[in-house]
Amino acid sequence: MAPTWVITGSSSGIGLALVRYNLAQGHNVIATSRNPSKTPDLVREVTSHPNGRWLSLDVTSPKVEIERILQEAWREFDGIDFLVNNAGYSVLGAAEDIPEDRAKEQFGVNFWGAVRTTQAILPLMRSRKSGTVVNISSVAGVDPLPTCAIYSASKFALEAWSESLSEEVRPLGVRVLVVEPGGFRTNFFSDATMQFVPPSSAYSEGPSPVSRTLGKFKSINPTTFTDPIKAAQRIFEVVVGVGMGEQLSDHVLRLPLGPDCYTRVTESHKKRQRELEDVKAIALSTI
């Protein structure tokens, strides 16, 4: 039987690209979104494929509800091989200005949503000593920009959780992969997935890093970014262990995607190494 994927946040972006690519490879795909009725054409496209299903799944639902949905999917396909936690969005603004309730909502989807679905599927994967959890992070989970404090924090949390989880479940036969996309030609920069909190006067007047960065985000032309279909292909290859991912599937935890992401991650690591060397004497002086 063909391998089976569950992909959250399937109605757009990399999630949708993965759904389409994986179906084209002959795999079973259970696409999910919070409100499938909003994308009837996409639902018809996927469900018209013999290997495609589309389920309603809100990652902010109680864990017991998510468990019920995933257990039913597991029974229908006699197992789930790959879970992709892709559901997410961004709230951008000055760290001081973002209200606590907006920050909690951001974490509720980007971090806790992935935790809930993963906790729901792990007992099933452990029972077969096989399976892969793919958590879609972001370059912002490595290199945070001004205005991205809360969004980046949710992705930093996801990365740390994933790294610890990977160590815990590897001996049980379950693998974890963290994908760090840069800028791709998706609708991530639309009003639905990128929300702005207007900056207060301290951050909106003069040459503020906040106002400059917000201006750049609002004027972004995603058509200049890289191809989400190629991103889906690379994710598939690394997860399944074919093509460019043939030699990587057993030992890679993080997968940066896009030239912009690779450059930013590289520069971020260099900066941290310089800072580490600067404080080396202080760090070692506390013996």
**Active-site positions?**
137, 151, 155
Per-residue burial over 245-271, b = 16 or more CB atoms within 10 Å of its CB, e = otherwise: beeebeeeeebbbbebbeebbeeeeee
* Alpha carbons 15 and 35: distance in angstroms, whole number: 15
Residue 54 sits at the vertex; the CA angle it makes with 53 and 56, to the nearest 5 degrees, is 145
Candidates 264, 246, 244, 267; CA nearest to 256 is 264
d(CA 55, CA 36): 7
Distances in whole angstroms, Cα of residue 190 to Cα of each of 8, 89, 193, 219: 18, 10, 6, 11
Kindly write down the DSSP assignment for every residue of 207-274, as one continuous string: S-HHHHHHHHHHT--GGGSB-HHHHHHHHHHHHHT-GGGTTTTTT--EEEESHHHHHHHHHHHHHHHH
Report the C-alpha gap between 119 and 61 in whole angstroms: 13
Name the residue with tokens 């990977």.
166
The Cα 83–Cα 276 span in angstroms is 36
Q: In what order do the strands lie in the sheet with 175-181?
A: 52-56, 28-33, 4-7, 82-85, 132-136, 175-181, 254-257
